[in-house]
Amino acid sequence: MARILTLTLNPALDLAIRTGPIRLGEVNRTESTRLDAAGKGINVARVLAGLGHDVTVSGLLGADNETAFLRVFAECKLRDAFIRVPGETRINAKLSEPEGRVTDLNGPGPRIPAHAMEALTERLASLLPGLEAVVISGSLPPNVTPEKLAEFITLVRARQVPVWLDTSGAALMAGLAARPSGVKPNETELADWAGRPLDTPEARLRAALRLNDEGVDDVILSAGAEGVIWAQRGSALAAASPRVSVVSTVGAGDTLLAGMLHGVLSQWPRERGLRFATALAAESVRHIGVGNPGAEDFELLQKQTLVRSLSVDSLTGETRG
C-alpha cells in the first residue's frame, strides 16, 4: 500500500456528547460522553491506516495533554512526526441530538511559537521523499496565517508529491491559490470560493469544474444527504448516498476524503472509488467515529450507493447540436 502523510496544524480532543433535544438555558442530561484524540488530518489517517496504508501524522501538538494522541497513534499504527508546542491541545465539544443535528463548540487552539513553525517546515521537507500523497486538513491555530498553509502546499508540490486539502475560510482561499492536487469542500465552502450562492446542482457542478480549469485536478464536493460530486480534470461523477440512520456526522467528511484517496492510490476505476468512499462516509454517520470498512453490511451499503456520470447538460436539460 501507499506511504501517506497527513498534516494537522490544529488538532483537538473531541468531546462527543449525545443528548436528547437541547433546551437552551436549562439543565440538560447527557446520554453518553466520549473524549477522543482527533483533528481532521488524524481522522483521515485513522481511516487510511485501517485500509492498510503506511501513514505518518504530523503537525503541531500541545505537549501538556498528548497522552490520548499517543494512545491513538499506537493503536492505529500511525508514525508520530508531530512537533510539540508549549501548552495544551484544544478541546472541541460536539453535541449530537436526535435526528442527527450536531452543534460544534470549537476552541481556537494554542498560539504557536515561530521556532515551532520553522521546525515543522523542516520536518515536512524531510518527510516528503518516498511519499505518494500528503493530506492537509483542518483549521489553523490563531497565529498561523493562511499564507503559511499555502507555503506548505507549494513545498509539497515542488517535490512532485500530490497534496490534498480540506479546510475552510481564509485558509481555503489561500490554499486553493497554491493549486493543491485535490480539494474536498462542502457546498458552503465552495460557495465562499465562488463568491456567490450555489443553491442548485448545476451551480455546484459549474463551480467544481471551474476549479478543475484553474488547476485543481480533483474536486470532491460533499453535499450531505444530497450525495457527492467528484469533478476530475473537467469530467464529473455523482454519487447518491445510501439511506442510513444518522447518529453523528462528525468525521464523515474525513472518512469521505480518506476513502477517495484510497481509491485513487489503488488505481481503481473512478466509479468504484467514488462508490466505496461515499458508502464508507455513510457508514460513519451511523455511530460516533470514522467509517469502518469492516462493517458486516458494508458491501450492501456499496451496492446501495448509486453512481452516475454528471454534466451541465444533464442537469439543465440542454442538448448539444
Q: Identify whether 217 is a catalytic site residue.
A: no
β-sheet bridge partners, residue 238? 229, 308
**CA 266, chain centre distance (Å):** 19
Conformational region of residue 235, where left means phi above 0, alpha means psi within -120 to 50, and beta covers everything else? beta
Report DSSP state, residue 304. Answer: T
Phi, psi (deg, nearest 5) at residue 23:
-110, 105
C-alpha span between 156 and 134 (Å, rounded):
8
Of 199, 254, 297, 313, catalytic? 254
Name the grid cell of 255: 472518512
Strand, helix or coil for residue 32: strand
Per the listing, cell 475560510 goes with 169
C-alpha span between 40 and 27 (Å, rounded):
31
C-alpha span between 240 and 151 (Å, rounded):
36
Query: Would you name the residues annotated as active-site residues?
Result: 254
